[in-house]
Chains A and B, each alone.
Chain A
Amino acid sequence: SAVISQKPSRDICQRGTSLTIQCQVDSQVTMMFWYRQQPGQSLTLIATANQGSEATYESGFVIDKFPISRPNLTFSTLTVSNMSPEDSSIYLCSAAGRGRGTYEQYFGPGTRLTVT
């Protein structure tokens, strides 16, 4: 298993500003991902963070709004740009490596973002 930490754990931001969330994994992993969990909802995958190249975004998410970096195998950042109150959510980082027959994915504690 992998232990994942995120910074910050929570933040309150003003509309129109940007916030960068950091994700650190305690071991080298194959894949890293970013999810969003809106209030009362389930998790939605934003993108796959690719090491050394552009992230792969899911439908409905774009790079200009959610730029992602992954400079090495253990670290990634997600920026939420030009925030609006609709961006108030929990943002979660996850990491996956090969386990028993398939990938096993582990999640960070999340970053709770409130936009006012």
Chain B
Amino acid sequence: DAKTTQPPSMDCAEGRAANLPCNHSTISGNEYVYWYRQIHSQGPQYIIHGLKNNETNEMASLIITEDRKSSTLILPHATLRDTAVYYCIGGSNYKLTFGKGTLLTVNP
């Protein structure tokens, strides 16, 4: 699995876009980038994943750089309920290796 690096914490104002960066410079060609989040005292929640192309779903957008060495998860209109630890994971199979993630705090 690719090693990923994320900032330990970030703040965002409610209603604004939250942009969470992730570096995965060692990612190989067949490894996907997955994003999960964990709201306090709950199980992790799948957000989105991508390989090369940018992806969007009802929760978020994932922007992957052309060289695939980094990506950004975008929550377009953050709410207080988006306060959570966000995990960026690089992998090519069903095994997920969780790092420490980014604690995103959305402030009113």
- Residues of chain A at the chain B interface (Cβ within 8 Å): 1, 4, 30-31, 33, 42-45, 48, 92, 94, 96, 99-110, 112
Contacts and interface: CB of A to CB of B under 8 A. Distances in A.
B101 A42 contact: yes
A106 B46 CA distance: 6
Given A43-B44, A92-B44, A108-B43, 12 more contacts: A4-B43, A42-B99, A43-B98, A44-B98, A45-B97, A48-B95, A99-B49, A100-B49, A101-B51, A102-B32, A107-B43, A110-B43
Contacts, number: 51
B43 A96 contact: no
Given A42-B101, A101-B51, A102-B49, A109 B94 contact: no
B97 to A, nearest CB: 7
Contact of B43 (A92, A103, A104): A92
29 contacts: A4-B43, A30-B94, A31-B94, A42-B87, A42-B98, A42-B100, A43-B44, A43-B96, A43-B98, A44-B98, A45-B95, A45-B96, A45-B97, A48-B95, A92-B44, A99-B49, A100-B49, A101-B32, A101-B51, A102-B51, A102-B92, A102-B93, A103-B94, A105-B96, A106-B46, A107-B44, A109-B42, A109-B43, A110-B42
Contacts of B94: 30-31, 33, 96, 103, 105
B45 interface: yes
A114 B61 CA distance: 38
B39 to A, nearest CB: 11
Nearest to A110: B43
Nearest to A100: B49
Interface of B: 32, 41-46, 49, 51, 87, 92-101
B20 to A, nearest CB: 16
* Residue among B44, B45, B51 having the largest count of chain A Cβ atoms under 10 Å: B44
A37 to B, nearest CB: 9
Given A42-B100, A45-B96, A105 B46 contact: yes
A4 B42 CA distance: 12
